[in-house]
Chain A
Amino acid sequence: MTDPKPVTPPESCGDSGCGTRREFLGAATAAMAAALTGCGTLSKEEFLQHNFRELSKQEVLDVIARLEKEYKAKYGKDVKVANTPAIPGVIFGYALDLSRCIGCRRCVHACVKENNQSRDPEVQWIRVLQMDKEEGVNLQHADQYYNPEEVPQEGHFYMPVQCQQCKKPPCTKVCPVGATWREKDGIVVVDYNWCIGCRYCMAACPYGARHFNWGEPNLPADQVNPNTHYLGNRPRPKGVVEKCTFCVQRTRNGQYPACVEICPTGSRKFGNLLDKDSEIRYVLENKRVFKFKEDLNTQPNFFYFYGV
């Protein structure tokens, strides 16, 4: 599934610049910080780890080895943490057919299973809105908590919302420490080991796509998906923000995101926007699409359309 071979991180500082900076803070500070977080399990290496984009090749490998060891100790099984980089010549695009979606929420749960979200409280990266047909896309008439015997309900249509992977993401712009950024294939990712948990990105996101680990994520060992990516679905610590990554651990290896694969109605289309023969390009060419909250000029790579 995931690519095990070591791959170059997108950027690295290479020379001594990072090293001296890191030495600036000693083990004593790490111990103090461990006391501060109240968990006492914070290692010196974890405390001193720098921003992912500034790590050298070797440092990335060390970090991954450390994480895999920690996950093994915590969940009692081998968890693979990949750092597969963006594939050159690929920008991922997504299209969702509003006339097909029946609001069954299978995508929501497949996503939770795939991406190792906290189960209690359950963090969901996809929110499905039940809308009134006569109102169209009107958020003041949206209901996320619909729970009938059967879907779809008379008079309603359904609009799933997840990270729109904007070309101009307001969330990355506001992050005070550069803990979140847009990768070359258009996926907006978070470095869970660098995020300080200020939640400014959550205030900035117009789509409610970012979620915070308010408590210690509760992920039962038997439900851990062991195929993970550093910037994607690896288990997260408490106090950091997380979000949909188009299943970076799958899509960079040529698989569909979990939500696309599970959808029983075929409402979800995914592919390479730079590939003329891709299904996503077919949709853009032959259907009329719209972008959610287009007036905000976030320029999503996530499109909605009416297929029938």
Chain B
Amino acid sequence: MITLKNFRQFITDTLRIILKGDRLYYAWVGFLVLLIAIGAAAYLGQLNSGLIVTKMRDQVSWGFYIGNFTFLVGVAAAAIMLVIPAYIYDWEPIKEITILGEMLAISALIMCLGFVMVDIGRPDRFWHIIPLVGRLNWPQSMLAWDVIVLNLYLLLNWFVVTYLLFCAYTERHYVKKLVLPLVLLSIPMAVSIHTVTAYLYNGLAARPFWNSAILAPRFLASAFCSGPAILLILLQILRKTTKLSIKDEAIFKVAELMAYTMGFNLFLTAAEAFKELYSGTEHMVYFQYLLFGLKGHTTLVPYAWASILCGLAAFILFLVPRTRTNWVTLNIGCVLIYASVYIEKGMGLIIPGLTPDVLGDIYVYRPSFTEIAVAAGIFATGFLVFTLMLKAAVPMMLGEFTISKGQPPQGAPPQKA
């Protein structure tokens, strides 16, 4: 009973925190809300006219929306990058920041579900996919699997974050027996969401570009580069703007782990490119379209090479200890790897998978204004969710904001996830 009452108090207090902020906070939230409004207006237009307002057509039937979805599943999966060393090796400095990783995962998943929603032609029939109410084609359809694992992963992260914050708020220590198994479970869950998303494409024999056995490993490797890159920048911002103490040591450790995954990611990409280009079968045309252009169509070429060069440069910056521990070069590296993976796992994955199409037709796809506006709205939603969660979570994690309002918690150590 007391817990329930406390929980209600927790919710109202959380709402109170997120409504109160300084001018910068309001400006940022206002900016995001503006973007969401633009996205919503564009989406209403799409609902009225149909997906014809996008540049997708029968030949390239998936585009910018599904590309962003795929990339963001990777971001969501990467939360475990921080959980693994924290819990498996019991490495204290990282433990404090895993809760941030989990909040990042929640925001990314919300964006993922948003991108799927705006991509489907009949959002009014969304209930058809709900198990028991509708008719989920499980276990046959990989999309059915994806619906299940993404929602489970969202639920799991949401529960762990809420529980940890609620404990911090009520000035109690969390029950390790409850949290540890759940956090450990999130490791295989994170691997599974990205594996299943890779299998979504991987299982289609009609699309040789995707029908490669190392697609899922490539997905994981690239996700473990881009996800932590976002987090590293975020941690630096949080250190500056809040009282949250994050040790240099923790950041450099994550950067070191990223160097390994980047190397592995480049190796896997090279392995794929070698197999296709050296054997030179007719399946090579998709790689050709991506890297060199096909029959005069070279839309993707500059992006593809930018992705490769950014990936290489970032790898070198993260590999060399001197540049890895220098804030300027570290942050440049983060931006480079993020850009590299965003191209590779977004448009660089979807478009050459569908071009040329199954009958050899080349349709040159570029997202329309509607697609870009809707996507901006979804990204803004994700950022907004993350901002609001951070706004409430940081003072709770610091023990500044508890049930006894402003009183530091008695005896309980600062919250560690």
Contact = CB atoms under 8 A, between A and B. Distances in A.
B58 A212 contact: yes
Interface in A189-223: 194-200, 202-208, 210-216
A238 B124 CA distance: 12
Interface in B333-382: 353-354, 356-361
Given A33-B124, A177-B137, A296-B206, A142 B359 contact: yes
B141 A174 contact: yes
A54 B121 contact: no
A178 B47 CA distance: 24
Interface residues of B, number: 55
Interface stretch (A34-42, A263-271, A277-285): A34-42
A144 interface: yes
A202 B358 CA distance: 10
A203 B50 contact: no
A203 B121 contact: no
A307 interface: no
Determine which residue in B116, B122, B134 has the highest number of CB atoms from chain A within 10 A of its CB, and name it.
Answer: B122
A170 B135 contact: no
Contacts, number: 164
A127 interface: yes
Nearest to B45: A38
B274 to A, nearest CB: 22
Interface string B194-211: 000000110111110000
A197 B205 contact: no
Interface in B262-309: 282, 285
Interface string A207-250: 11011111110000000000000000000011111000000000
By DSSP majority rule, is chain A's interface helix, strand, loop, or mixed? loop
Contact of A21 (B50, B132, B143): B132
A175 B129 CA distance: 10
A140 interface: yes
A208 B52 contact: no
B245 interface: no
Given A142-B359, A296-B205, A296-B206, A202 B49 contact: no
Nearest to A33: B124
A200 B207 CA distance: 12
Nearest to A176: B143
Contact of B206 (A25, A175, A204, A212): A204
B125 interface: yes
Interface string A71-109: 000000000000000000000000000000000000000
B164 to A, nearest CB: 33
B111 interface: no
B140 A238 contact: no
A173 B127 CA distance: 20
Contacts of B141: 173-176, 200
A128 B416 CA distance: 64
Given A174-B204, A199-B62, A214-B51, 16 more contacts: A139-B356, A139-B358, A174-B203, A175-B141, A176-B136, A196-B120, A197-B51, A200-B200, A208-B59, A210-B58, A214-B56, A215-B49, A215-B51, A216-B49, A216-B50, A297-B205
